[in-house]
Amino acid sequence: MLKEGENVWKVALADRAALVVDAENYFVHARSAMSQATKCIMMVGWDFDARIELVPGRDDIPDEKLGDFVYRLVKENPDLDIYLLRWRFGAFKVFARGTTIFTIIKWLLHPRIHLRLDGAHPYGSSHHQKIVVIDDSFAFCGGIDMTGDRWDTRDHADEDPRRRRANGVAYGPWHDATAALHGPVAKLLGDLVRLRWQRAGGRTPPPKVEKDNDCWPEELEPQFRNVQVGIARTLPAMPDWDGVHEIEALFLDQIARAKNHIYMESQYFASRAVAEAMAERLEEPGGPEIVIVNPLTAEGWLEPMAMDSARARLFQALKAVDFEDRLHLYHPYTAGGTPIYVHAKITIIDDELVRVGSANLNNRSMRLDTECDIVIDDLQDGNDDNAETICRMMCDLIGEHLGVGPDRVLEERNAAGSLIAAIEKLRVSEEVGERTLRPYKVPELDTVEAFLADNEVLDPEGPQDMFEDFAKRQLLRGFVSRVKHRAKRGKQRLKDRRTARHERRGH
């Protein structure tokens, strides 16, 4: 499954690994691991906000803002260097963050805090990776940025006084995820960061750390031991280097391989390539179930029009070939009925494969932005214990959305023999209450929304499409006709199967 140079960059051993769900846990574990650094911390992100509190409301851990924490680490350890790489365009937010500019200046004046802005990408794209590497021994790789509006607990309470911006304004519930990794795979992620640092204009890359440092977070229980981990990337094509599309290739290979179920969490669902791969599987009699968890709507004012509209178009097209009702898209809600924003990017296939990273199910993540995902494949290791771990991981995620434990989800799935049937039963049961998953409803699209979706505005399929004629940039180009053909063919097959069953009963 994991093929170096095709659907992953490289594969390496992790002696310990774990999925970290939601930023309350991530920030605690990141603080713990970074506090144990001896030589080098490399932090890569779409955004950093020096004002955020890493551990609000903890009596046993002194609270500290990110900016103060970073400065204290280098002050207390004269051998430590910290490298921060963030998206250049997003850095303009700093000027609207009050005293943050003074923290940045303080960082820049310190000889062992190195800050670089990444603009090494085509016009209209972004640097979207979220990676932390400590002493080339330990790493986080996933979807959580150390910035505002990210912190939340797994309870996703309707009212949590700790869920506030630096200016005191409350924000809504937020669901996210990253992966923790220790061992040779962390060294590989360090090499990836160094390459990115140089492409972003850094003349001298962060030095390599040869001596291993066991800085695994104190409160984090490893879920995997001695597993092979693949690293997949998206790098947009530039004049000096070719594009890398491992992220997209891995999605397509995963979907093609699934036998029983595909479980996905993503901020968007707008990738034509992914939708076409799903259509192939939905067309198959007895193919895998597909469950997608999305936020109710995208953030911002223009993105909802483009991304939500593209989702509606693709979902409608897929349901046209979904004769066995095997595609379900859901939104999570709090106990009080508030939509929970889904920012996590997770894929789990057949209790065999788990993937987490920065890439969404949209065109940008496949071709335009810089992305990084990691993947653990049970078949790569042949370790049956991992299958149980991956199964429980998925049930734990679904249980979080439904307000029940993972054992309850697994019990219903095994009883029904269907992931969708289990979710459908639990989400309307009295034990779940208002904390639940609600089915996606296709909205009516006005002319502007349809135009934005169909012409892939804000979500082109690659750098070359940014300036391509709109007539050539159709989201559903060729897809609709193929789907209609498949739907007609599928209906005929369904009719033939029913006729055969009827004839057998007659005999």
CATH of the domain at 248: 3.30.870.10
Same domain, 149 and 80: yes
Q: Are residues 194 and 338 in the same domain?
A: no
Contact 373, 357 (CB under 8 A): yes
What are the phi and psi torsion angles at 179 (to 5°)?
-120, 145
Same domain, 164 and 26: yes
* Burial of residue 429 (number of CB atoms within 10 Å: 0-12, 13-18, 19+): middle
- Structure-derived torsion over alpha carbons of residues 432, 434, 440, 444, reported in degrees to the nearest 10: 160
Residue 47 lies in a domain: yes
Tally Cβ neighbours within 10 Å of residue 129.
Answer: 30
Q: Is the pTM of this model over 0.85?
A: yes
Which residues is 19 bridged to in the sheet? 179
**Is residue 95 domain-shared with residue 19, that is, in the same domain?**
yes
- Residues 52, 171, single domain; the answer is yes
Domain boundary among 210, 232, 254: 232
- Residue 471's pLDDT is what? 42
Considering the domain architecture, whether residues 454 and 331 belong to the same structural domain is answered as: yes
Q: What is the structure's pLDDT at 202?
A: 79
- State whether 33 and 18 are in the same domain: yes
Do residues 304 and 244 both lie within one domain?
yes
Q: Look at residue 487 and tell me if it is in a domain.
A: no
- On whether residue 287 sits in a domain, the answer given is yes
Instruction: Report how far residue 257's alpha carbon sits from residue 263's, in angstroms, rounded to the nearest whole number.
Output: 13
| Residue that terminates a domain, selected from 453, 469, 485 | 469
Look at residue 180 and give its three-state secondary structure: strand
The last residue of a domain, from among 189, 215, 232? 232
Whether 442 is covered by a domain: the verdict is: yes
Q: Could you tell me if 270 and 199 lie in one domain?
A: no
Verify that 222 and 246 share a domain, yes or no. no
Q: Are residues 32 and 105 in the same domain?
A: yes
Number of domains in the chain: 2
Q: Has residue 310 been placed in a domain? A: yes
Q: In terms of domains, do 246 and 116 share one?
A: no
* Residue spans of the chain under pLDDT 70: 89-102, 300-302, 304, 380-384, 431-433, 445-507
- How high is the pLDDT of residue 257? 96
Which residue range(s) make up the domain with 176?
14-232
**Dihedral pair phi/psi, residue 329, rounded to 5°:** -120, 130
